[in-house]
Amino acid sequence: MKPLKPLMVAPFENEDGEWHSIIAVIKHQIMPSLMNHGSRLFLISSRPLGANFHFLPLIDGFKVLRPRRQKLPEFIYVLSGQRYLWVNGKWLKLVEGQGAFVPEQVEYFPFGVANGFLFPCDSLSLIVHPEGGILVRTRLTQASYQRSVHFFVAQPILMQRYKGWRLSLPSHIADEIIVDMFEMLPELKPIGFMLISELKTQMSDFPFALKRAITLLHRAYNISITMTQLSRYSFVSEAQLYRLFRCWLGTSPYGYLTNLRMKIAKEFLTRTHLGVSDIAFLVGYSSRSMFSFNFHKVFGFSPAFVRYGKFHSFNPFTSPMKFAHP
């Protein structure tokens, strides 16, 4: 088979990748399924699917070309289409309304193709972290791999619930715990949510093209996006879009995005114990040094100054977990 060309990540251009849409999915699709099936929703039995499956290479901050050891547990739910994933040496097939659980410390690859054919799918994942949860929506089409930003909710009790769930399997208590975990999510607000909400209220008088550009940057602040993509979405030329940013905001589109990323990063540093490398990834940087350089440029001090200035003690979480690396 001819090697597959890696798909580049692209942002959701509609509201499907925004927080309120993700919450609607949890309330109206995942929760009803959980109430009916309990833990069984995520504990599907795997059967051999044949030998004509191949990994679908992706470039999403890092190159994802081969299975990686899963650092954190992940719950995956398919909203539409069908999805193939490789877990601990076996291919799993998920269709609409089905879920899968990927334990920590197993080999994992997120997408596969069957007989060279890519099956479109739309999925939502909850990654459980010692300090909370990471919610991300992904959509695979024949032409692109779309992803929302990584919504991080700072709620350590999620990890406690997860550990209780694992210990309680396969009892009815486990069903109650998994329902409680997902019921909790709509009540939380991810890091960066309030900042972006405030920025939205300041856009009322902006020109239409500028509003669209800023909206896309908000939806994709941790995804690489080009001026060509931004201007196409805004229905103006790159030069005109640059002039709009300069006239109304006093900065370039890249400057606006950098400032947005750094403000969200500062919130991560003050509200969590996440390592600097993980925060860099969550706001869109594959290079810790580039992240630190931009952070210092915006605020005049380093990320470490914010971190240690707040906690005044050794932080056991500052070494990166690198949950995004292949």
Give a yes or no: residue 109 inside a domain: yes
Asked if the model's pLDDT at residue 311 lies above 50, the reply is: no
Least Cα distance to 153 among 139, 175, 136 occurs for 136
What's the confidence (pLDDT) of residue 321? 39
Q: Global pTM? A: 0.90
- One domain, residues 245 and 278: yes
What's the confidence (pLDDT) of residue 47? 57
Mean per-residue pLDDT of the chain: 89
How many residues would you count in the chain? 326
Q: Residue 257: CB partners within 8 Å, gap ≥ 6?
A: 217, 221, 225
Give the domain extent around 142: 7-187
Q: Tell which of 187, 210, 238 closes a domain.
A: 187
Asked if the model's pLDDT at residue 154 lies above 80, the reply is: yes
Task: Supply the CATH number for residue 204's domain.
Answer: 1.10.10.60
- One domain, residues 150 and 132: yes
What's the confidence (pLDDT) of residue 310? 47
Asked if the model's pLDDT at residue 46 lies above 80, the reply is: no
- One domain, residues 110 and 47: yes
Asked if the model's pLDDT at residue 48 lies above 60, the reply is: no
- One domain, residues 210 and 103: no
More confident residue, 305 or 279: 279
Lowest mean pLDDT among 38-47, 58-67, 213-222, 258-267: 38-47
What's the confidence (pLDDT) of residue 309? 67
- One domain, residues 60 and 198: no
* Average pLDDT value for residue range 77-101: 93
- One domain, residues 271 and 131: no
- One domain, residues 167 and 272: no
- One domain, residues 35 and 176: yes
pLDDT digits (tens, 9 = 90+) for 160-183: 999 999 999 988 999 999 999 999
Q: Tell which of 187, 203, 223 closes a domain.
A: 187
- One domain, residues 254 and 132: no
Q: Tell which of 187, 210, 231 closes a domain.
A: 187
- One domain, residues 170 and 63: yes
Give a yes or no: residue 326 inside a domain: no
What's the confidence (pLDDT) of residue 6? 85
What's the confidence (pLDDT) of residue 256? 96
pLDDT digits (tens, 9 = 90+) for 88-99: 888 888 999 999
More confident residue, 306 or 268: 268
Give a yes or no: residue 261 inside a domain: yes
